[in-house]
Amino acid sequence: MTQDELAKRAACSIGALRKIESGDRRPSKQLAALIAQALEIPIEDQPTFIRIARGELNPERLQRPVFESPTPLPDLRTLRQLQPSVMPGAVPQEPAPSARLPLEATPLIGRENELAAMARLFDDPQCRLLTLTGVGGIGKTRVAIEFASCAPPAFPGGVYYVPLSSINSPEEIAPAVGDVLNFGFSGPTEPKEQLFSYLSSHIVERALFVFDNLEHLLVRAPAQDDKSGVAELVTDILRRLPNVCILATSRERLNLHGEWTYELHGLSVPPTDYAGPVEDYKSIELFMNSARRVKADFQAAPDEQASIVQICRLVEGVPLAIELGAAWVGVLSCREIAQEIQSNMDFLSTSMRDIPERHRSIRATFDHSWNLLTEDESMALCQLSVFQGGFDRAAAYQIAGASLPLLASLCAKSLVRRNESGCYSLHQVIRQYALSHLNEHPHSLETYERHCAYYLRLVGTYERPLKSILQQDSMRSLTDEIDDIRAAWTWAIDHKKFDQIGGAGRALGWYFEIAGLLQEGIEQFERLVDVLKAEPQDNPWRRVLGLALVHQGLLYLRKGDFDSAQVLYEEGISVLRPVGDQNLLADALIYLSIILHMNGDLPRAKSLLEEGIVLARAVDDRWLEALALTSLGFIASHMGCYAEGYEQMMAGIAIWRTIGDPHSIAMGLNFIVPTLTKLGKIEEARAFMRESIHLCEVSKNRWGMGTAYSFLGLVCIAGGEYEAAQSNLLKSLDIFSEYISGWNIARSLTYLGDAAIMAGDYPEARKYYLDGLSSSIESKAIPVALDALSGLGYLQEGAGEAENALLLCYYVLNHPSSEDETKARADQLRSALEPKLTSPQVMGARKLAAELTFDEIVKIALKST
């Protein structure tokens, strides 16, 4: 399966899948289960798969499966100790001549899977040339040497290691091979022909030649008929010596017929949010071993482990980079090492004399590759470093001028990666190296400008689709590109590209709201607001300021902070009225009216809504018209006009259904529920909540999901199902936890109090009412606070505190922000209390309720409970 196919089967975005595969994020249990089903993992193995996917189990702790092949190879880790004469079923023979392999000073960590895979490849008779590729410092030489040291039984004709890093021209390869074989050249015959004559007569059984570090020799001689290049030599060996196999290491493939390639990647790194033992990951093991060679008593304290994980993630498990980073533990803490790597790649260097010069620093490692690039390739790589995440061919060409042949060439040189879905990316260390070259280039600003313009223009194209039936596809597409969008947005703010921001701002604001990235969105727009406010008052970008204030207000509203949202909307309206942008102004008026009616200011809320719906219709914004109609219906219901409210809200929902916006349909279905319960339409309300929950599950709408379970709890209360009500309301609070605060939390808590009091659990009811009162006061959701006070009045009446209960009833009935339902409940309690009290007590409670402030009545309620 391609990533695209897997993403479709698992109902997730390609971007999310890439982040899961790269370890940048962990899937939810639900998504992990969907991926397991999409991959057709056996049912009995799915719980283990989900634990690994969630980071609860390290895969390296599992027993590895045994791979069978037509001619199974022994365990590579034991081959060193086994001679052919003692192998099971082997025929005693003279040991095959082999080149002396370099003796490494440190053990190879990890790579068991890679070594086993290479063995399986060579077990195929068709595989005679295997090129081990990968970025500089990934460990190609170490893995090749390890394989060569384990391989003799599979190559009875011998294993010959030919180091080529010091060879400067293809003509020197044949003499280098002869030197390894202790073969001396003589006479006028071409050295290559002498070598082939010797090999033909001396190698009669299967043999392996390891050609290490070939990339700098992959250059054809200028003359067309010159056949001395390394590619021609390798081709001739394979053609004329049928017993010889070749293992080559190179930063780019040789591009020969019959060539098999195996790309090395970094050592395993703990994924984001992994909570298990990190020592099992090979990158961590390598860091610890390397650190102890520098500082024998090195121990990673618990607070240092997170920094070690960060180091390994920053370098994506590249062994050389890990070793260079660990070399600093004698003078720096792991946290300081991580900070240095993040800010300056030149930090990764060493002065050790026994390390090849090209491996003494990350910069030197990539300088080696850089010097082998053409001018066009180096320029393209520079400009590609501006991308923060993956990118497609169109973006690469428009921003970096990288054509398909250039991309293919850079991929072949292990400098650019391409996945099965066609998305390209750069290894983080390569990106940092290329970015340093880009920032030194005199035309680097132009690259950043193209990047900014491309991605903000892209965001702008999603303004309408985000509020339509295309919403989920649009969200997936934007999520795939969000890292580059963030970078473009930040660069545009820093360089005051307000025209481009203005074209993208509305779509990006809606993206943050629909994706639930509320705090990030608030911070992104806050930066923009601060920069715009520093501009002169007569600047031409007042519309962009109004846009930023309006969308920041929306994100605060969704978060439950009505107070901050109201301040921003009031300011946004004052900025937008003289600008004349009717669409944005309608947006601001309608959302401010929602805050006002939630806080109990129904007259002004209705006035703003009526103005907003006129503007929405004038600019033919059907989505905003639906929002205004739904809000008018909500206000009508709060004022006791339930039938009118029902008709208006259903009209708004009908428009959203026509548009196809699942996020807004779910919102409309949620907020019509209180009206449906008052009209006795319990089954309709229940059906709406089932639909809403389904829509929210599909669109991963956490705010909508939490709201749906809250209103489903209300439906259960109306139906007398108090245990089910509590279950749904607690589920609502769990979804809202660490995500939002304010009105939504307060509403669920007061409903829980209602459910508990109906079930006769008065202590629980008191607890929920008090928590709901506290939360509603904090968020200034006065109508919800009054509802909680009404509930506390019932509890006080049951506790024999009739006079205090009557005081709360009168206060709730007199307050202008009380909802009609809250007043009805308070009036019912008042009717039951007045006959139980004397006339002076009733008159005293009525008089005191008219004199007390809200804060004073809350203190009395808290004191009496």
| Three-state SS letters, 673-686 | HHHHHHCCCHHHHH
Band (pLDDT 50/70/90 cuts) for residue 448 is: very high
CA distance 860 to 845: 12
Band (pLDDT 50/70/90 cuts) for residue 99 is: low
Q: Which residues contact 285 (CB under 8 A, 6 or more apart)?
A: 109, 110, 279
Candidate from 163-177, 444-458, 696-710, 758-772 with smallest mean pLDDT? 163-177
Structure confidence at residue 219 (pLDDT): 54
CA distance 123 to 117: 10
Which helix (H) or strand (E) segment is 129 a member of? Answer: strand 129-133
Token reading at 680: 């006795």
Whether 569 and 591 have beta carbons less than 8 Å apart is answered as: yes
Band (pLDDT 50/70/90 cuts) for residue 85 is: very low
> Average pLDDT over the chain, rounded to whole?
84
Structure confidence at residue 91 (pLDDT): 36
For residue range 768-820, what is the model confidence (pLDDT) as tens digits? 999 988 888 887 788 888 989 998 988 888 888 888 889 999 999 999 888 88
Max Cα–Cα distance, the chain, nearest Å: 131
Q: Which residues contact 362 (CB under 8 A, 6 or more apart)?
A: 137, 320, 321, 324, 345, 346, 348, 349, 429, 433
Token reading at 747: 């509403």
For residue range 100-139, what is the model confidence (pLDDT) as tens digits? 677 777 788 888 888 989 999 988 889 999 999 888 888 8
Token reading at 865: 């409970």
Quote the percentage of the chain above a pLDDT of 70: 89
For residue range 501-523, what is the model confidence (pLDDT) as tens digits? 999 999 999 999 998 899 999 99
Token reading at 727: 């279950």
Q: Looking at residue 242, what DSSP letter applies?
A: T
Whether 686 and 670 have beta carbons less than 8 Å apart is answered as: no
CA distance 459 to 31: 27
* pLDDT exceeds 60 at position 86: no
* pLDDT exceeds 70 at position 650: yes
Alpha helix positions (H), 123-280? 140-150, 173-180, 191-202, 230-240
CA distance 122 to 208: 10
For residue range 450-486, what is the model confidence (pLDDT) as tens digits? 999 999 999 999 999 999 999 999 999 999 899 999 9
* pLDDT exceeds 60 at position 259: yes
State the pairing for strand pair 417-418/424-425.
antiparallel
Candidate from 123-137, 520-534, 733-747 with smallest mean pLDDT? 733-747
Length of the chain: 865
Look up residue 824 and give its amino acid. A
In 3-state terms, what secondary structure has residue 354? Answer: coil
Q: Which residues pair with 417 in a beta bridge?
A: 425
Strands (E) located in 293-349: none
Q: Which residues contact 802 (CB under 8 A, 6 or more apart)?
A: 796, 833, 836, 837
Q: Which of 266-275, 410-419, 656-665 has the highest mean pLDDT?
A: 656-665
Kindly provide the b/e burial profile for residues 742-779, where b requires at least 16 CB atoms within 10 angstroms of the residue's own CB. Answer: bbbbbbbbbbbbbbbbebebeebbbbbbbbbbbbbbbb
Q: Which residues contact 615 (CB under 8 A, 6 or more apart)?
A: 582, 583, 585, 586, 589
